[in-house]
Amino acid sequence: MSKKIIKIEDLKREFVMGTETVHALRGISFDINEGDFVTIMGSSGSGKSTVLNILGCLDQPTSGIYEIDGVKVKDLSRNELATIRNEKIGFIFQSYNLLARTSAIENVELPLVYNSKVSSKERRKRAISALEKVGLSDRLDHTPAQLSGGQQQRVAIARSLVNNPVMILADEATGNLDTRTSYEIMSLFQELNQQQGITITFVTHETDIAAFSNRTIVLKDGDIIQDYKNHNIQSVADELAKLPKQDDEL
């Protein structure tokens, strides 16, 4: 059996807004095993980002249990939380969150800057290797403005990989991209999961994306309404090959 890396139990998150309480998560439970590729689906406002932010230790639940790698997150100090965020988890967002006027390689080096165990030479080496993995070895010195949306998202993925995280959390990572580019990015996620065994939790509201993962959790109004394994995982590369070719491709 694979190792359990995430365990949540009866997790609730409430936001108090004046006299009103928003029940963003109403007591959800699930485990994620090492090597899983989970898509979290649901319409806008169903609680997807809220659960992802808690999984990534960016936010704390109102109540319930959250364990990562066997450690109860509630018991951790601020410093320990920061270390987990920085060293165990890679984040990818819809809006890339890259530093403008900063080269691809420097953006990717960023998570290692505060890691005293990694020399500047090693840092550069690891950043170059991460950018090679996402197919951008010829764009090391480009700034975000000099890159397409898909390329910027690749830089963000390289940045998320540079610390060798146990888990990648992606929130609508293909939300700003056209179909072909978003399939190219999905193909990269599938490769990272299938070839390198990286655990991925991928939030999306696009139903076709779920077919590429091995498990789907569907949220509705803060509750899990479906949680199922996908026994017929589609290859993104195959789907990409079926798309019509574009003449103006970069």
Which parts of this chain interact with ligand ADP (CB under 6 A)?
15, 17, 22, 24, 42, 44-50
Q: Which is nearer to Mg ion, 53 or 214 (CB)?
A: 53
CA-to-CA distance for 125 and 130, rounded, in angstroms?
A: 9
| String of DSSP letters for 1-65 | -PPEEEEEEEEEEEEEETTEEEEEEEEEEEEEETT-EEEEE--TTSSHHHHHHHHTTSS--SEEE
Q: Are strands 199-203 and 37-41 parallel, antiparallel or unpaired?
A: parallel
Contact between residue 202 and residue 38 where contact means Cβ atoms under 8 Å apart: yes
Q: How far is the CB of 227 from ligand ADP (least distance, A)?
A: 16
237 binds, among ligand ADP, Mg ion, none (CB under 5 to 8 A by kind): none
Q: Which is nearer to ligand ADP, 46 or 182 (CB)?
A: 46
Q: Which residue is nearest to Mg ion (CB)?
A: 49
45 binds, among ligand ADP, Mg ion, none (CB under 5 to 8 A by kind): ligand ADP
Is residue 103 involved in binding Mg ion (CB under 5 A)? Answer: no
CA-to-CA distance for 143 and 107, rounded, in angstroms?
A: 9
Q: Which is nearer to ligand ADP, 151 or 174 (CB)?
A: 174
Is residue 216 involved in binding Mg ion (CB under 5 A)? Answer: no
Provide the 8-state DSSP code for 246: -
64 binds, among ligand ADP, Mg ion, none (CB under 5 to 8 A by kind): none
For the stretch 88-102, what's the b/e string if a residue is b when 16 or more beta carbons lie within 10 angstroms of its beta carbon? bbbbbbbebebeeee
Q: Which is nearer to ligand ADP, 50 or 163 (CB)?
A: 50
Q: Are strands 199-203 and 215-220 parallel, antiparallel or unpaired?
A: unpaired
In which region does residue 172 sit, left (phi positive, over 0), alpha (psi from -120 to 50) or beta (all else)? left
Is residue 49 involved in binding Mg ion (CB under 5 A)? Answer: yes
195 binds, among Mg ion, ligand ADP, none (CB under 5 to 8 A by kind): none
71 binds, among ligand ADP, Mg ion, none (CB under 5 to 8 A by kind): none
50 binds, among ligand ADP, Mg ion, none (CB under 5 to 8 A by kind): ligand ADP
Q: Which is nearer to ligand ADP, 22 or 225 (CB)?
A: 22
Q: How far is the CB of 223 from ligand ADP (least distance, A)?
A: 12
Among the listed residues 198, 186, 195, the one whose alpha carbon sits nearest the alpha carbon of residue 35: 198
Q: Which is nearer to ligand ADP, 47 or 165 (CB)?
A: 47
Binding site for Mg ion (CB under 5 A): 48-49
